[in-house]
């Protein structure tokens, strides 16, 4: 792929008190590209999205790193407004709408704060977006309360809201986990279509390798707040190299289930192991893995943070 970067995260560290939630995290998304972020629960996926969206908890610190969006460092106050072109689709449509206000009232309020134009223009744009996300009765939808929509329809509403600021990047935190399987498929197909029709880039957090394979050209695998492997999704899924990625995938040959099954647990963020953070769970760990932080090595089609990635894993490494 060529062209300028749309989003570039460089050497990002996030701390909450003494806990190192993210360390030296980097990723690059080009305009119109799709990137998935995977890793077990607690690996820092949501924290990465929150840092990009500027919604980290108040006590979070960013001791190192940069987040460049359209070339501007959005961690600095002056450039924070550049985040206006990043749309966010939340995880749970049930929790993300206020039940006591009509859909139109809530979404028009979001547009009043973030989109240019007056109320009449915002209304017309919302109806057009409702059409684009295939919400039934787009005009009547503005006057309905959240409980009058199904879960899938609420997610469509929130996707329309995310599109209302004309984003160049749509960030989504497991936007289909609260939905049934059929609705999940429809929402994923919708996101794929919108992304390709509008030239939108997608940054997608998921637990689901099936979702990853269908929606994301590239993948970043996080473990305990660090990137362990990144590259083209097809290459990584077909031939994972980092022991962590290999074990994740070995647990889920159908690649459509939640990530469970690697012996041990993700370390607590305030008790990260020294050296490679995966070494206490790694079946091929060498002595140096406990002391030396492995750099990301560039191989032919990806980056991998393990000098021993060519070594085979012993059988029964996963439960
Ligand atoms: N507000 C907070 N205060 C303290 N620790 C936090 C806070 N938010 C997250 N953490 C810790 O940061 C680490 C990463 O959490 P994060 O939610 O980013 O992980 P995740 O990969 O998105 O997990 P999940 O898949 O379960 O959503 C975890 O150890 C978590 O306990």
ipTM of the complex: 0.95
Rounded mean pLDDT, 161-166: 89
The pTM for the full model equals 0.90
**Local confidence band at 176 (pLDDT 50, 70, 90 cut-offs):** confident
If residue 23 lies in a helix (H) or strand (E), which one and from where to where? strand 19-29
- Distances 227 to 58, 77, 126, 254 between C-alpha atoms, Å: 24, 27, 38, 24
Please tell me if the CB atom of residue 42 comes closer than 6 angstroms to any atom of ligand 1. yes
Q: Which residue's alpha carbon is nearest to atom 18 within ligand 1? A: 44
**Pair 259, 211: CB distance under 8 Å:** no
* Residue 265 CB–ligand 1 contact under 6 Å: no
Give the per-residue pLDDT at 116: 83
User: For strand 169-173 and strand 86-89, is the pairing parallel, antiparallel, or unpaired?
Assistant: parallel
What percent of the chain is predicted at pLDDT more than 90? Answer: 65
pLDDT score of 313 more than 60: yes
CA distance 195 to 205: 16
* CB-ligand 1 contact for 269 (6 Å cutoff): yes
pLDDT bin (cut points 50, 70, 90) of residue 261 is low
Tokens of 215: 């929606």
Question: Rounded to the nearest whole angstrom, what is the distance from the C-alpha of residue 266 to the centroid of ligand 1?
Answer: 11
| Separation of CA 275 and ligand 1 centre (Å) | 21
């Amino acid at each position: 792929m060529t062209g300028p970067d749309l989003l570039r995260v460089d050497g990002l560290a996030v701390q909450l008190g003494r806990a190192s939630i993210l360390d030296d995290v980097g990723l690059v998304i080009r305009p119109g590209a799709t990137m998935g972020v995977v890793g077990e629960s607690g690996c820092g996926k949501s924290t990465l999205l929150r840092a990009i969206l500027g919604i980290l908890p108040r006590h979070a610190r960013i001791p190192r790193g940069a987040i460049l969006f359209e070339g501007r460092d959005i961690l600095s106050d002056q450039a924070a407004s550049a985040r206006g072109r990043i749309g966010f689709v939340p995880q749970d449509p049930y929790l993300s709408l206020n039940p006591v206000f009509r859909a139109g009232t809530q979404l028009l309020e979001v547009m009043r704060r973030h989109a240019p134009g007056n109320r009449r223009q915002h209304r017309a744009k919302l109806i057009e977006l409702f059409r684009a996300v295939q919400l039934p009765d787009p005009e009547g939808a503005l006057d309905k309360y959240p409980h009058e929509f199904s879960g899938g329809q609420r997610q469509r509403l929130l996707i329309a809201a995310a599109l209302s600021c004309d984003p160049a990047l749509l960030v989504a935190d497991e936007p289909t986990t609260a939905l049934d399987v059929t609705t999940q498929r429809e929402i994923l197909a919708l996101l794929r279509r919108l992304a390709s029709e509008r030239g939108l880039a997608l940054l997608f957090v998921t637990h689901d390798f099936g979702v990853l394979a269908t929606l994301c050209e590239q993948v970043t695998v996080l473990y305990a707040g660090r990137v362990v492997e990144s590259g083209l999704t097809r290459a990584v899924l077909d031939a994972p190299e980092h022991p962590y990625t290999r074990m994740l995938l070995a647990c889920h040959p159908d690649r459509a289930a939640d990530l469970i099954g690697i012996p041990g647990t993700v370390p607590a963020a305030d008790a990260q192991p020294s050296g490679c953070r995966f070494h206490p769970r790694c079946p091929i760990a060498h002595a140096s893995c406990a002391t030396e932080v492995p750099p990301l090595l560039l191989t032919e089609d990806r980056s991998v943070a393990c000098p021993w990635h060519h070594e085979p894993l012993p059988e029964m490494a996963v439960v």
